[in-house]
Amino acid sequence: MQYIPYIAIAVAYALIYLPRQFVSYEMKKLAGGYNNKDPRGQQAQLEGRGRRALAAHQNSIEAFAPFAAGVIVAIQRTVKLEVIAALAIAFVVVRLGYIFAYIGDKASLRSNLWGLGVAATGALMILAAVG
């Protein structure tokens, strides 16, 4: 149980790069294939699934730091480990769903999952503050 929050941080970090795999695949399909000389320029040309995957990748980067900080401060403030683990697992599960909802163009589901992820992160921070 004591390692679950740390494992969740590692999994959340790995989830940053899951949608990036879809981005790379979609870039390869563009004229000229994957452009390693100007990948960001090529990413700007993506449409549909590739553009959504890129947005999911970028949002995963944005969500990671607050989540990781929330876990660490909750541990440091000795919030109950079971609560931290539950919130950390919830964050990872909803972020995984978020990525696939975003890539799959399920906007309402994506937004709801985003909100749940923000709520899990916020709960970790609030619990640490009132700890």
Domains of the chain: residue spans and CATH: 4-130 (1.20.120.550)
Which pair of tokens denotes residue 126? 């609030």
pLDDT digits (tens, 9 = 90+) for 63-105: 999 999 999 999 999 999 999 999 999 999 999 999 999 999 9
Three-state DSSP at 49 gives: helix
Confidence (pTM): 0.94
Q: What share of the chain is helix, strand, coil (3-state, %, to 5)?
A: 80, 0, 20
pLDDT digits (tens, 9 = 90+) for 10-50: 999 999 999 999 999 999 999 999 999 999 999 999 999 99
Contact 95, 15 (CB under 8 A): yes
Q: Position of tokens 């990671």?
A: 64
